[in-house]
């Protein structure tokens, strides 16, 4: 089911947590709701779930306006950041709990015990916890608890699956595994999914589309490629990518971007005037006539991150791991123009 929010706003007293956002979450797709801490991701998610009321605006599921509906009427599955499993129930009871509150659409009556067990076991297989259904949540690892939470959210065949930073309690390795799992489960169940995260890498790696927010305002909505390669403002450019993009203040004219100290970087554009130029670390390559002195070299295995000064700005670049460079060395670099972006010096909007 497609989910749309129109001019959705949430105010807590004087703070505006979510400010007039318009988003369409496409049917059957996995959409990432991304942004730094406190930007209003959870609030948006809870408004869609119905646990928070909207101050203004509408929430539309398919063609129905559900803005004022109670959460239990919306047929959603929600996975909380700390899972919120029922600690006194076994996994089987946890997963069956939503079913015990609904009617079987086929018969119009309560689910039979047998049907309920079948559904629980089917979903347990999907998330691969079928052999621990008689345990209690306290006897599980974090990753297993998360699967239970997903199973409980999916068992009632929700129209929308909402996940609030479900991986934030896991260690780095498990997080990588579980995000692929979530992707697999989502693709197998084909449920419209909204995935809240503050980790840009996580968002880029598994989502079909990313909504990037800041201070309750949507900055850009795009698929991961587009968002990385074509940022609409400097915040988006800074947020996506690790190591992050570096900036220099420049004057652009005649095929060059000129730094404060007179240094010239080749850059071809129709724009002319002052700009804030963002340079992705991978825009640099060894062998060229831009001479820099490396201040730091960080070997990462497949590549290396080097730092140097350009004018008064510190720049970070990713170089091929085979180039043997050391800190303090002077080398010549060249610049790949299409990995450089110009932003308005004050507003930060892409030029």
Partner 1 sequence: MEKVKTAKKEKQPKYRLVEMSDGTLRVRSAWAYAYILPAMALLLLFTLYPLVMVLRTAFYQKYIYITNTGTGFGMSSFIWVLKDPTFWMACKNTLILLLIALPITLVIALGAALLINSIKKLQGFFQTVYFLPYVTSTIAIGMAFLWLFHSDYGYINYFLEFLGIPPQKWLTDPDLMIVTLSIFSIWNGLAFKILLFLAGLQKINKQVYQAARIDGASPAKTLFRITLPLLSPTIWMVILVSVIYVARTFNEVYAMFVSYAGGAAGTGNAAITIMYYIYWMFYDQGKVNYAAAAAILFLIVIILITVVQRVVSKKFVHYV
Write out the DSSP string of 144-194: HHHHHHHHHHHTT--SEEEEESTTTTS-HHHHHHHHHHHHHHHHHHT-EEE
Q: Interface with partner 1 includes 325 (CB under 8 A)?
A: no
Q: Which is nearer to partner 1, 52 or 181 (CB)?
A: 52
- The residue from 15, 64, 65, 88 that contacts partner 1 (CB under 8 A) is 88
Q: Interface with partner 1 includes 134 (CB under 8 A)?
A: no
| CA distances from residue 119 to 51, 97, 156, 261, 272 in whole angstroms, order as listed | 26, 12, 9, 68, 63
Q: Interface with ligand ATP includes 42 (CB under 6 A)?
A: yes
Say if CB 35 and CB 41 are below 8 A apart: yes
Residue 15 touches which member of partner 1, ligand ATP, Mg ion, none, C-beta under 5-8 Å by kind: ligand ATP
Residue 281 touches which member of ligand ATP, Mg ion, partner 1, none, C-beta under 5-8 Å by kind: none
Dist CA 213 CA 40 (whole Å) = 8
Say if CB 307 and CB 328 are below 8 A apart: no
- The residue from 31, 42, 232, 304 that contacts Mg ion (CB under 5 A) is 42
Q: How far apart are CB 99 and partner 1 at their closest, in Å?
A: 9
All residues at 6 or more sequence positions from 338 whose CB lies less than 8 Å from its CB, including other chains: none
Residue 43 touches which member of partner 1, Mg ion, ligand ATP, none, C-beta under 5-8 Å by kind: ligand ATP
Q: How far apart are CB 160 and Mg ion at their closest, in Å?
A: 18
CA terminus-to-terminus distance, the chain: 36
- The residue from 5, 23, 34, 41 that contacts ligand ATP (CB under 6 A) is 41
Dist CA 58 CA 235 (whole Å) = 27
Residue 276 touches which member of Mg ion, ligand ATP, partner 1, none, C-beta under 5-8 Å by kind: none
Q: Interface with ligand ATP includes 271 (CB under 6 A)?
A: no
> Which spans of this chain sit near Mg ion (rule: CB under 5 A)?
42
Interface positions with partner 1 (CB under 8 A): 49, 51, 70-72, 76-78, 80, 82, 84-88, 97-98, 101-102, 136, 138, 152-153, 156
């Amino acid at each position: 089911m497609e989910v749309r929010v129109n001019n959705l706003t949430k105010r807590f007293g004087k703070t505006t947590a979510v400010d007039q956002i318009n988003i369409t979450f496409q049917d059957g797709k996995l959409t990432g709701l991304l942004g730094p801490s406190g930007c209003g991701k959870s609030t948006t998610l809870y408004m869609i779930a119905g646990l928070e009321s909207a101050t203004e605006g509408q929430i539309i599921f398919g063609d129905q306006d559900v803005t004022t509906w109670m959460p239990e009427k919306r047929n959603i599955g929600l996975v909380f950041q700390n899972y919120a499993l029922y600690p006194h129930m076994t996994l089987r009871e946890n997963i069956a709990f939503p079913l015990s509150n609904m009617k079987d659409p086929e018969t119009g009556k309560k689910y039979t015990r047998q049907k309920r067990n079948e559904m629980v076991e089917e979903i347990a297989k999907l998330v691969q916890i079928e052999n621990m259904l008689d345990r209690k949540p306290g006897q599980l690892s974090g990753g297993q608890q998360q699967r239970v939470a997903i199973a409980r959210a999916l068992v009632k065949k929700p129209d929308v699956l909402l996940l609030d930073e479900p991986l934030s309690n896991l260690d780095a390795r498990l997080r990588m595994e579980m995000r692929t799992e979530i992707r697999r489960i989502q693709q197998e169940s084909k449920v419209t999914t909204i995935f809240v995260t503050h980790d840009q890498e996580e968002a880029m790696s598994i989502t079909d589309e990313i909504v990037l927010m800041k201070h309750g305002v949507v900055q850009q909505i795009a698929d991961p490629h587009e968002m990385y390669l074509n940022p609409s403002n400097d915040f988006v450019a800074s947020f996506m990518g690790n190591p992050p993009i570096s900036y220099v203040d420049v004057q652009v004219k005649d095929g060059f971007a000129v730094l404060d100290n007179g240094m010239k970087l080749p850059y071809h554009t129709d724009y002319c005037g002052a700009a804030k130029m963002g340079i992705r670390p991978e825009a640099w390559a060894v062998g060229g006539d831009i001479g820099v002195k490396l201040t730091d070299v960080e070997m990462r295995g497949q590549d290396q991150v080097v730092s140097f000064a350009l004018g008064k700005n510190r720049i970070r670049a990713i170089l091929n791991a085979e180039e043997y460079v050391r800190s303090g060395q002077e080398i010549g670099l060249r610049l790949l123009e299409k990995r450089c972006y110009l932003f308005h010096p004050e507003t930060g909007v892409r030029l």
